[in-house]
Amino acid sequence: MAWPGNVAMEIEALVCSYVADLQRGEEEREVALLELSKAREKTPGIALLLWHSYGIMTILVDEITQNFPHIPRISQRRTRRMAAALCLLQCVASHPETKTVFVRSYIALLPMAILRTAEDGNQMEHVRLAALGVLGSMMKVADASVIRFLRETEIIPLCLQIMQNGTELAKSVAIFILHSYLSREEGLYYVCGTAERFYAVASALATMVETLVGVPSNRQLKLLISCYLRLCDHPQARGVFELCFPAPLMSDPTLDQVAPSILNNLGDTSKRQLQQIVSRLGF
């Protein structure tokens, strides 16, 4: 529901004053960061304001890099600021008018660097999720520039790693990124372009199948099945799956050989997709 005009204007004025506060002293900046990250859902135009206001992107980047040396013994206060700055980057990454310039700026390498920091218990987890969120937001409209960015960087290998070792939420975002990448022709053909890349993806998916047999998750299963179905569009990938496909998903068209814990967690669309896979692979 849209906000009534006067309320919307008040929110906008407040957001503008917080954006200005980002440039002031330490204390104002901290309050402004937290308030802006809270206000971001109510003010979609915030992305434009952040991108076009002089010096703001540098401040957000600074906020993340300054805190880097404190990882892994980082205070809660610092992680909160880092997560807030990442949430704001997420807005810029997903807004239709800023997303292309955002991709071109290579600022997305920063969240990637955060995801590469060593595991250190829970205190960094929300920062890691916010970092993954920036990459996930970029994928919402995965145009050619985003796919090129993913091809050139190590984001996909990182996602494959998270799909195998991450927390439940992180795994869901990571497989969402992979799925968006595969959905584009360039992504699918890049993955299937060499045996190494294909096996890296196929083995991450297979590990996920094994884990999901024990601990099913609807969200992950849905994307997992969609990834398999999409890979079947590539002749060589299909050839490999005809010879070797994860046993818990392998079945006949009635699906009665699918692992029960998986089958019980599949929605109708996923069931249909699995039947399509079965028929395309000729089981």
Binding site for ligand TRP (CB under 6 A): 151-152, 154, 156-157, 190-191, 197, 200-201
Q: CA–CA separation, 258 vs 249, rounded Å?
A: 5
Nearest in space to 88 (alpha carbons), one of 122, 126, 137, 128: 137
User: Nearest approach, Cβ of 190 to ligand TRP (angstroms)?
Assistant: 6
User: Nearest approach, Cβ of 221 to ligand TRP (angstroms)?
Assistant: 22
Q: CA–CA separation, 243 vs 263, rounded Å?
A: 22
User: Nearest approach, Cβ of 152 to ligand TRP (angstroms)?
Assistant: 6
Name the residue nearer to ligand TRP (CB basis): 156 or 208. Answer: 156
Q: Which residue has the tokens 């096996």?
A: 199
Q: What interhelical angle do 168-183 and 144-152 show, nearest 10?
A: 120
Q: What's the token pair of residue 283?
A: 């089981």
Under 8 Å between Cβ of 30 and 63? no
Give the largest CA-CA distance in the chain: 66
Name the residue nearer to ligand TRP (CB basis): 61 or 158. Answer: 158
For 123-157, the DSSP string reads: TTHHHHHHHHHHHHHHHTT--HHHHHHHHHSSHHH
Name the residue nearer to ligand TRP (CB basis): 62 or 154. Answer: 154
Question: 168 vs 129, 172, 246, CA distance in Å?
Answer: 11, 6, 21
Name the residue nearer to ligand TRP (CB basis): 190 or 245. Answer: 190
User: Nearest approach, Cβ of 54 to ligand TRP (angstroms)?
Assistant: 34
User: Nearest approach, Cβ of 124 to ligand TRP (angstroms)?
Assistant: 24
Nearest in space to 219 (alpha carbons), one of 263, 183, 168: 168
User: Nearest approach, Cβ of 27 to ligand TRP (angstroms)?
Assistant: 42
User: Nearest approach, Cβ of 194 to ligand TRP (angstroms)?
Assistant: 8
First to last CA, the chain: 48
Paired strand residues for 120: 122
Name the residue nearer to ligand TRP (CB basis): 126 or 151. Answer: 151
Name the residue nearer to ligand TRP (CB basis): 29 or 184. Answer: 184
Name the residue nearer to ligand TRP (CB basis): 169 or 200. Answer: 200
